[in-house]
């Protein structure tokens, strides 16, 4: 069966053929611009390429003008590769380079939770691999609607299984992340995945097609009909009745193939067989070929019929748009092609030479000898539309900020205060996350020094020198809703602090900016403010932004999610043996609080959990204090002065001491200054709790660093005893803290021990 | 002492197994699934992972790989073999150990620090332990539920073929809390938990797992 192929020649002869640009998501003026660039109407294949590459997802057309702020930050000596490549690369010392990035897969995960989340992990891992690095760990930052909402029960187990299933099967430890719930994510969960990779400086690879005559090799999985930009796209094509079935726009992952692809790529890099490389993610081959050609000096020619297919009935436009997973595209010198293909064969990875680098400035694609694409690649990949969208401060923001959390009824008795404490730590946001993290492999590769529930994940990168890295991901959306500028800075500060409490020195920043529709001026204002806040914050902390991802159109109906800038901070450990854990391990150690506690309850976990309230102002941002605290924590780790350190954030001191005590079952007797309610639930930033056997030395160091320090008490016993409150037995708080997620999503022991009725029919293997 | 670690397509914990061998004082030798070459090793470790993506059944395809034919033959003449997690699944699929590993009863992949009781301290891979000793090593699997037909299970128990047993909770619904079994001659051991992840205090919950690797070195020297 053959369909009529729309060639460049035909397009020239039929300039007035109507084209379904609107169904492909292009605006009339964007379509007009394509016609202007080409001097004719685009072919079907060209229209497909432009439509996917000029989508918000690929072109960043609404966010670009704002993201320039990150590029304007002062240059950092640590950055080896900055924004613009697949992922930024930073120097972590001793000749090692680290690349890390976080990316969203929100919409696919809503449609198909398991595959959406799994391919989210797969995509970010390929970005890291593309830079020349061995991926060494992943993290995930997840947000759902109310924990007890029926749709959350549909989404969460699938998303967690997808993140775990893909990462576990790749052999990448999951070292941390977030799991939070809020009604604003009811119809739009957030699934953000981070990957980090390690390489030697000289191993950095770039996505560039250089060297006329070099071959373009497509390798990995066969190309199928999955993940083609949606049913509307397919519906717009003219197909015979015998054409391919319409397939869903969510891709299906095969982590086994990706594992083979990782090992094959690393062997190809090591043997110096690769000139340039690009993974195939969003927009598939359209993206890879146009970006490679655009970044290089010349052009590129591809013979599309050479692409190995899973479905022989795919049209050329579909092949160009397919988002089939686990594929890579490499530029290879002709003399090295045989060796390249041999490595692929060793790893059972299919590879095909599909084209070559040409002189000239065109990207041309032929289909069985007929020219179906002839475009300037830069116009596809890098010169898409750019919008300065209108912005407006949300009309409800003044009212929201005026609705101060300070006016909320506070607990009036010690018993009530303790009840609020238990409510906060047993809330789905505050509760034990083992239900999720037990589904992730944290041990594989044997270099995981710290993983969840620690504040930061820590990975050893050299077994001889003990050099390592720390990573944290944080994104408090309540603060960002109340003030996106401050909220983004508070998230930056929290991730910075989480890395610092582990004893690492913060080095670089990545981000995943999850927002509503950019066509809503209020959302656009939130976005611009968050970017401005993050850029200003990074300038003040002296940290570069090495990359990131923007996810827009996150909304349920017309209601946008709370602005959710998820910030990742990478830090360096000279010696991971000096890492500082968050849990209390021994009795009779002194508990100290670093930082200043103010009455700051706006956007707090207490206001949310106890009163369902979001209003007022977020905590004050004091980045100078964060920096002083971070430097102090690094110094104390270096000198081995503290036995534990835990960041204070959501849920304040109450949450932090609960987590530190429950980690190893060591309680404490504590005294708090002033109002116990404020002391326990304020979420003032720039604070951490540490334990030490040498309080005088720690106090002296804090004083030298200009960090306020308060004595809280002493570890020991089997309860948390705060002066003036009833003693809280650890067994009691543990019971409520651990019960929440299993009660919502099912307890594994119920199924291993006895038959339980919660297993969906058809999911029990019969073999 | 040369201990081979086989890499199948989809093996993941091969680097960990090799590290454990080195930390125990042995020389780790990388073996490739597609070769018919055991490279003269004194013992073999089949590491964890998802060989061939767990396609068909976990371990089923790897059990039929070229090198496994050599492993089965050499095991017949006494080559010590340790299968960890996916390696255990491969050994069961290859017929070197009795029973099978099914999907966890609760259907989740599960990773936690697990207590094990060493039931047999006289195998090639467990002689560094005391009989009845309780150790803590990570467990992490999706298809780790040990099953056998009732008559087989009775025989396995009767012959004392259970090498390690879960205590303090059964993570996956394994019958009789069985975590690992041994061959009749005690030279082949397979277990779902991961001793190779408990060999350094820095990265593991304990260093209890090292005993598996020191055991075989002692045994090989003695032999």
A-proximal residues of B, 48-67, CB under 8 Å: 48-50, 52-55, 57
Assess whether pLDDT exceeds 80 at residue A242: no
Q: Is A126 annotated as a binding residue?
A: yes
Phi, psi torsion values for A723, nearest 5 degrees: -50, 130
pLDDT in tens, A595-618: 999 999 999 999 999 999 999 999
pLDDT in tens, A376-412: 999 999 889 999 999 999 999 999 999 999 999 999 9
Chain B environment of A577 (Cβ under 8 Å): 202
CB atoms A446 and B52 under 8 Å: no
Catalytic residues of B: 85, 194, 196
Instruction: State the sign of the Cα–Cα–Cα–Cα dihedral A700, A705, A706, A711.
Output: negative
Find out whether the peptide bond into B40 is cis, omega within 30 degrees of 0: no
pLDDT in tens, A257-282: 999 999 999 999 999 999 999 999 87
Chain A environment of B108 (Cβ under 8 Å): 161, 438-439, 748
Chain B environment of A168 (Cβ under 8 Å): 50, 109, 140, 142
What CATH architecture is A8-62+206-381? Alpha-Beta Complex (3.90)
Whole-number mean pLDDT of chain A? 92
Q: Which residues pair with A649 in a beta bridge?
A: none
Q: Is A323 annotated as a binding residue?
A: yes
Give the nearest partner residue to A169 out of B50, B197, B200, using CB atoms. Answer: B50
Q: Is A474 annotated as a binding residue?
A: no
Q: Is residue A749 within 8 Å of residue B169, measured between CB atoms?
A: yes
Q: Inform me whether the C-beta atom of residue B197 falls under 8 Å from chain A C-beta atoms.
A: yes
Provide the H-helix boundaries in A113-149: 113-130
Identify the residue with better confidence: A764 or A382: A382
Q: Is residue A716 within 8 Å of residue A587, measured between CB atoms?
A: yes
Residue A661 CA to residue A585 CA, distance in Å, equals: 8
A590 sits in the region (left: phi over 0; alpha: psi -120 to 50; else beta) called: beta
Phi, psi torsion values for A598, nearest 5 degrees: -110, 170
The proportion of chain A whose per-residue pLDDT surpasses 70, expressed as a percent, equals 94
The proportion of chain A whose per-residue pLDDT surpasses 90, expressed as a percent, equals 84
Identify the residue with better confidence: A243 or B115: B115
Residue A5, judged by CB atoms within 10 A of its CB (0-12, 13-18, 19+), counts as middle
Instruction: Work out the number of other CB atoms within 10 angstroms of the CB of residue A150.
Output: 9
Residue B118: pLDDT band (50, 70, 90) is very high
A-proximal residues of B, 151-180, CB under 8 Å: 169-173
Phi, psi torsion values for B113, nearest 5 degrees: -80, 125
Assess whether pLDDT exceeds 50 at residue A449: yes
Give the nearest partner residue to B105 out of A256, A746, A751, using CB atoms. Answer: A751
Interface ipTM: 0.97
Residue A689: pLDDT band (50, 70, 90) is very high
Residues in chain B: 223
CB atoms B138 and A750 under 8 Å: no
- Residue A205 annotated among the catalytic residues of the structure: no
Most distant CA pair in chain A, distance: 87
Q: Is residue A623 within 8 Å of residue A500, measured between CB atoms?
A: no
Chain B environment of A746 (Cβ under 8 Å): 106
pLDDT in tens, A637-646: 999 999 999 9
Give the nearest partner residue to B109 out of A171, A439, A763, using CB atoms. Answer: A439
CB atoms B102 and A765 under 8 Å: yes
Output the pLDDT for position A229.
62
A262 to each of A167, A428, A523, how far by Cα in Å?
13, 36, 38
Chain A environment of B199 (Cβ under 8 Å): 446
Q: Inform me whether the C-beta atom of residue B141 falls under 8 Å from chain A C-beta atoms.
A: no
Output the pLDDT for position A23.
86
Output the pLDDT for position A751.
52
CB atoms B140 and A443 under 8 Å: yes
Tell which of B45, B85, B105 to mutate to test the A interface (max A CBs under 10 Å). Answer: B105
The whole-model pTM stands at 0.94
Identify the residue with better confidence: A760 or A514: A514
Output the pLDDT for position A212.
93
Residue A304 CA to residue A323 CA, distance in Å, equals: 15
CB atoms B53 and A257 under 8 Å: yes
Q: Closest Cα of chain B to A164: distance in Å? A: 8
pLDDT in tens, A301-353: 999 999 999 999 999 999 998 989 999 999 999 999 999 999 999 999 999 99
Residue B62 CA to residue A564 CA, distance in Å, equals: 45
Residue A33 CA to residue A56 CA, distance in Å, equals: 16
pLDDT in tens, B132-183: 999 999 999 999 999 999 999 999 999 999 999 999 999 999 999 999 999 9
Give the nearest partner residue to A752 out of B53, B106, B109, using CB atoms. Answer: B106
Q: Inform me whether the C-beta atom of residue B37 falls under 8 Å from chain A C-beta atoms.
A: no
Instruction: Work out the number of other CB atoms within 10 angstroms of the CB of residue B184.
Output: 10
Give the nearest partner residue to A164 out of B52, B109, B203, using CB atoms. Answer: B109
Q: How far is CA B205 from the centre of its chain?
A: 18
Instruction: Work out the number of other CB atoms within 10 angstroms of the CB of residue B117.
Output: 18
pLDDT in tens, A182-232: 999 999 999 999 999 999 999 998 888 889 999 999 999 999 988 776 433
What domains, with CATH codes, occur in chain B? Answer: 2-222 (3.40.50.880)
Whole-number mean pLDDT of chain B? 96
**Rg of the Cα trace of chain B?**
15
Output the pLDDT for position A248.
57
The domains of chain A are located at 8-62+206-381
One DSSP character per residue, A365-415 reads: EEETTEEEEEE-HHHHHT------------TTHHHHHHS-GGGSPPP-SHH
**For B174, how many CA atoms within 13 A lie in the half-sphere containing its CB?**
29
Which of A57, A573, A613, A646 is an active site residue?
Answer: A57
Q: Encoding tokens for residue A336? A: 């090295």
For residue A566, give the H/E element and its range: strand A564-573
Instruction: Work out the number of other CB atoms within 10 angstroms of the CB of residue B69.
Output: 13
Q: Is residue B186 within 8 Å of residue B174, measured between CB atoms?
A: no
The size of the A-B interface in CB pairs under 8 A is 116
pLDDT in tens, A453-499: 999 999 999 999 999 999 999 999 999 999 999 999 999 999 999 99
Q: Is A51 annotated as a binding residue?
A: no
Report DSSP state, residue B64. Answer: G
Mean pLDDT, range A684-704, rounded to an integer:
98
CB atoms A752 and B15 under 8 Å: no
Phi, psi torsion values for A111, nearest 5 degrees: -75, -45
Output the pLDDT for position B220.
74
Chain A environment of B19 (Cβ under 8 Å): 446, 463
The edge-to-edge listing of strands for the beta sheet with A457-460 is A448-450, A457-460, A468-474, A564-573, A505-514, A545-551
Considering only CA atoms, which of A41, A183, A190, A206 is closest in space to residue A102? A190
Output the pLDDT for position B222.
72
Determine the 3-state secondary structure of A615 from DSSP: coil
Chain A environment of B23 (Cβ under 8 Å): none
**Rg of the Cα trace of chain A?**
27
CB atoms B106 and A260 under 8 Å: no
């Amino acid at each position: 069966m053959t369909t009529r192929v729309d060639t460049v020649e035909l397009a020239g002869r039929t300039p007035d053929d109507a084209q379904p640009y609107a169904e492909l998501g292009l605006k009339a003026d964007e379509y007009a611009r394509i016609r202007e660039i080409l001097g004719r109407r685009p072919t079907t294949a060209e229209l497909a390429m432009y439509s996917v590459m000029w989508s918000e997802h690929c072109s960043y057309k609404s966010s670009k003008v704002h993201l320039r702020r990150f590029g304007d930050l002062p240059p950092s000596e640590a950055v080896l590769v900055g924004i613009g490549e697949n992922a930024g690369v930073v120097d972590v010392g001793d000749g090692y380079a680290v690349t890390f990035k976080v990316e969203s897969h929100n919409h696919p995960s809503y449609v198909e939770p398991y595959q959406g989340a799994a391919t989210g992990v797969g995509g970010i891992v390929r970005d890291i691999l593309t830079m020349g690095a061995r991926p060494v760990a992943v993290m995930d930052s997840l947000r759902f609607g109310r924990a007890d909402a029926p749709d959350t029960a549909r989404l969460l187990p699938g998303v967690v299984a997808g993140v775990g299933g893909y990462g576990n099967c790749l052999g990448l430890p999951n070292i941390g992340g977030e799991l939070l719930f809020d009604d604003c994510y009811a119809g739009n969960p957030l699934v953000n995945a981070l990957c980090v990779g390690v390489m030697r400086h000289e191993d950095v690879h770039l996505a560039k097609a250089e060297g006329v005559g070099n071959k373009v090799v497509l390798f990995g999985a066969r190309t199928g009909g999955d993940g083609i930009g949606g049913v509307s796209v397919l519906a717009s094509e003219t197909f015979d009745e015998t054409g391919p079935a319409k397939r869903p726009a969510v891709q299906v992952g095969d982590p086994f193939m990706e594992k083979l692809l990782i090992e094959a790529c690393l062997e190809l890099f090591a043997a110096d067989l690769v000139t340039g490389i690009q993974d195939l993610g969003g927009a598939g081959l359209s993206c890879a070929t146009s970006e490679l050609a655009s970044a290089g000096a010349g052009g590129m020619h591809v013979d599309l019929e050479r692409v190995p297919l899973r479905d022989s009935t795919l049209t050329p436009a579909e092949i160009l748009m397919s988002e089939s997973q686990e594929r890579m595209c490499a530029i290879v010198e002709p003399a090295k092609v045989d060796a390249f293909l041999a490595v692929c064969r060793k790893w059972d990875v299919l590879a095909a030479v599909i084209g070559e680098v040409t002189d000239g400035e065109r990207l041309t694609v032929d289909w069985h000898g007929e020219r179906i694409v002839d475009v300037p690649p830069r116009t596809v990949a890098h010169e898409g539309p750019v919008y300065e969208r209108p912005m407006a401060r949300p009309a409800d923001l003044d009212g929201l900020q005026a609705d101060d959390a300070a006016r909320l009824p506070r607990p009036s008795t010690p018993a009530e205060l303790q009840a609020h404490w238990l409510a906060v730590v047993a809330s789905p946001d505050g509760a034990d996350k083992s239900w999720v993290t037990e589904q992730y492999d944290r041990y594989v590769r044997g270099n995981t020094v710290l993983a969840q529930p620690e504040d930061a994940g820590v990975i050893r990168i050299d077994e001889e020198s003990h050099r390592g890295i720390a990573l944290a991901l944080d994104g408090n959306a309540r603060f960002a809703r109340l003030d996106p500028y401050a909220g983004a800075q508070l998230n930056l500060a929290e991730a910075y602090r989480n890395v610092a409490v582990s004893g690492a020195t913060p080095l670089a920043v990545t981000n995943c900016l999850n927002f509503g529709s950019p066509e809503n001026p209020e959302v656009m204002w939130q976005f611009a403010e968050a970017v401005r806040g993050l850029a200003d914050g990074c300038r003040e902390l002296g940290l570069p932004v090495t990359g990131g991802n923007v996810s827009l159109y996150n909304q349920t109906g017309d209601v946008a999610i709370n602005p959710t800038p998820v910030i990742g901070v990478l830090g360096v450990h000279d010696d991971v043996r000096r890492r500082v854990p968050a849990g209390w391990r021994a009795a009779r150690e002194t508990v100290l609080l670093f930082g200043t506690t103010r009455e700051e309850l706006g956007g707090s976990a207490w206001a949310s959990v106890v009163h369902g309230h979001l209003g007022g102002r977020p905590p004050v941002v004091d980045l100078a204090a964060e920096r002083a605290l971070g430097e102090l924590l690094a110094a104390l780790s270096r000198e081995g002065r503290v036995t534990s350190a835990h960041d204070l954030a959501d849920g304040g001191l109450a949450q932090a001491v609960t987590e530190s005590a429950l980690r190893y079952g060591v309680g404490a007797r504590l005294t708090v200054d002033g109002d116990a309610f404020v002391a326990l639930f304020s979420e003032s930033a720039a604070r951490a709790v540490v334990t030490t056997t040498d309080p005088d030395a720690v106090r002296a160091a804090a004083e030298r660093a200009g960090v306020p320090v308060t004595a809280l008490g002493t570890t020991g016993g089997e309860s948390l005893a705060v002066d003036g409150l009833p003693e809280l037995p650890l067994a009691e708080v543990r019971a409520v803290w651990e019960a929440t997620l299993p009660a919502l999503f099912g307890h594994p022991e119920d199924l291993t021990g006895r038959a339980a009725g919660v297993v969906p029919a058809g999911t029990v293997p019969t073999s | 002492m040369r201990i081979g670690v086989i890499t199948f397509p989809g093996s993941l914990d091969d680097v960990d197994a090799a590290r454990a061998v080195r930390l125990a004082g042995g020389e780790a030798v990388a073996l490739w699934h597609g070769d018919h070459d055991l490279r003269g090793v004194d013992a073999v470790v089949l590491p964890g992972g998802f060989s061939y993506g767990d396609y068909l059944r976990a371990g089923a395809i790897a059990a039929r790989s070229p090198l496994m034919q050599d492993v089965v033959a050499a095991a017949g003449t006494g080559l010590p073999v340790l299968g960890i997690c996916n390696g255990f699944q491969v050994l069961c699929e290859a017929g070197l150990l009795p029973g099978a590993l099914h999907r966890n009863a609760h259907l989740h992949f599960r990773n936690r620090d697990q207590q094990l009781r060493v039931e047999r301290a006289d195998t090639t891979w467990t002689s560094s332990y005391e009989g009845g000793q309780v150790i803590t090593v990570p467990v992490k699997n999706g298809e780790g539920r040990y099953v056998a037909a009732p008559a087989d299970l009775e025989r396995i128990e009767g012959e004392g073929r259970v090498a390690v047993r879960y205590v303090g909770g059964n993570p996956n619904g394994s019958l009789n809390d069985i975590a690992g079994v041994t061959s009749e001659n005690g030279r082949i051991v397979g277990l779902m938990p991961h001793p190779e992840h408990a060999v350094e205090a820095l990265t593991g919950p304990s260093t209890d797992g090292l005993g598996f690797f020191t055991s075989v070195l002692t045994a090989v020297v003695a032999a």
